[in-house]
Amino acid sequence: GNSVTQMEGPVTLSEEAFLTINCTYTATGYPSLFWYVQYPGEGLQLLLKATKADDKGSNKGFEATYRKETTSFHLEKGSVQVSDSAVYFCAVASGGSYIPTFGRGTSLIVHP
Amino acid sequence: DVKVTQSSRYLVKRTGEKVFLECVQDMDHENMFWYRQDPGLGLRLIYFSYDVKMKEKGDIPEGYSVSREKKERFSLILESASTNQTSMYLCASSLSGTGPPEQYFGPGTRLTVT
């Protein structure tokens, strides 16, 4: 089956710092890749996605590039804000399945 | 916008009680899911449904059952609640088809069993 490995948190940064959250995956076929974000007290919401190799997903200043050769989908943001404090989940879906496999989540804490 | 709502944000129940968690989505999605979220364990799939009256077990179905009598509604039932079912429960829905299976989540129900 598919699997996702995310870096463990929490990741603690100062405002305006550069963010990278690592995600690697194993999957069959041609997977779709996702990043979801969960703000405190809320459910998950889709942040960005990519459906084929070398695609770059982007949203709200966050970016991630689908790297098939390294089976990675690292999340980056050039300048984080306090409001970005949340838990970030990487996910993969493939083989015609509509059920994604989620990583365990990485907590991000941004200090003013 | 897709909206997924859950009947309660917080719930406190006693051991042995029967517990119903309700989820409703308003975008005519075929697929619906129930997850539980625990610190350090991420999301674990309990049950899912791809059509009315259809249900499939996920990774951790023991101690739970589900009901889907209408397309928009998916209920999670704890037949006899136990303290190890204290958790955050998340409902999600998604559209069937050939596109990437994005899921839309509700706000969650934090259940405490005492």
N residues, chain A:
112
Please state, in angstroms and rounded to a whole number, the distance separating the CA atoms of residues A59 and A94.
Answer: 22
Query: Tell me: the pLDDT tens digits for A39-89?
Result: 998 999 999 999 999 999 999 999 999 999 999 999 999 999 999 999 999
The verdict on a CB contact (< 8 Å) between A44 and B107 is no
Which pLDDT score is estimated for B1? 67
Nearest to B52 by CA among B74, B34, B33: B74
Task: Point out the residue among B31, B40, B106 whose CB comes nearest to the CB of A98.
Answer: B31
Residue in chain A closest to B101 (alpha carbons) equals: A98
The verdict on a CB contact (< 8 Å) between A41 and B42 is no
pLDDT interval class at A9 (50, 70, 90): confident
Query: Tell me: the pLDDT tens digits for A10-19?
Result: 999 999 999 9
Count other Cβ atoms within 10 Å, centred on residue B5. Answer: 12
Please state, in angstroms and rounded to a whole number, the distance separating the CA atoms of residues B111 and B114.
Answer: 10
Q: ∠A80-A104-A84 over CA atoms, to 5°?
A: 15
A78 in Cβ contact with A66 (< 8 Å): no
Whole-angstrom CA distances from A88 to A6, A8, A46, B4, B29 are: 9, 11, 10, 20, 24
How far does the CA of residue A15 sit from the closest CA of chain B (Å)? 26
How far does the CA of residue A45 sit from the closest CA of chain B (Å)? 7
The verdict on a CB contact (< 8 Å) between A97 and B43 is no
B64 touches chain A (CB under 8 A): no
Which pLDDT score is estimated for A86? 97
The verdict on a CB contact (< 8 Å) between B101 and A93 is yes
Residue A97 has pLDDT above 80, yes or no: no
Phi/psi of residue A53, nearest 5 degrees:
-55, 140
pLDDT in tens, chain B (114 residues): 669 999 999 999 999 999 999 999 998 999 999 999 998 888 999 999 999 989 999 999 999 999 999 999 999 999 999 999 999 999 999 988 777 788 999 999 999 999
